[in-house]
Amino acid sequence: MKTMRKHKQGLIALILVMTLVNFFAQAQTVKKLDPQNFENKLQSVNNPLLVDVRTQGEYNQGHLSNAILIDYNSSEFKSRLSKLDKTKAVFVYCAVGGRSNAAVNVLTGMGFKEIYDLQGGISAWQQAKKPISK
């Protein structure tokens, strides 16, 4: 009985450790950056993927230069993300941060390794007087 109990405790401890390792490994791949650091990192990376996860209407009102639109609410959202190169750095933004945070979770689950999320979204970008394209 004692041996069985120790075995179960060991197994539970192992599962807990593996869960924590996985959590911290994912946390290291995703960075939330303020507009200035987002812009700096975006400029320092070769061939980054810049993804706007807002709607077409929001995108048309203004977006970051060279951003590709992949609407988070679209039925094609996951299939379009799956076509992106997982070895490239992905920079994601939305209006204020909610959809991009959800998109980051999807990207992480798909195996993307280097993900940057614009903290505060394009609203924070504009407040920081950063350029947008129309």
Return the DSSP state at 85. -
Among 50, 94, 104, 115, which one carries the catalytic annotation? Answer: 94
Is the Cβ–Cβ distance between 53 and 70 less than 8 Å?
yes
- Going from the C-alpha of 38 to that of each of 19, 20, 21, 56, 112, the distances in angstroms are 29, 27, 26, 23, 18
94 is catalytic: yes
Strand partners, 116: 31, 91
Q: Which residues belong to the active site?
A: 94
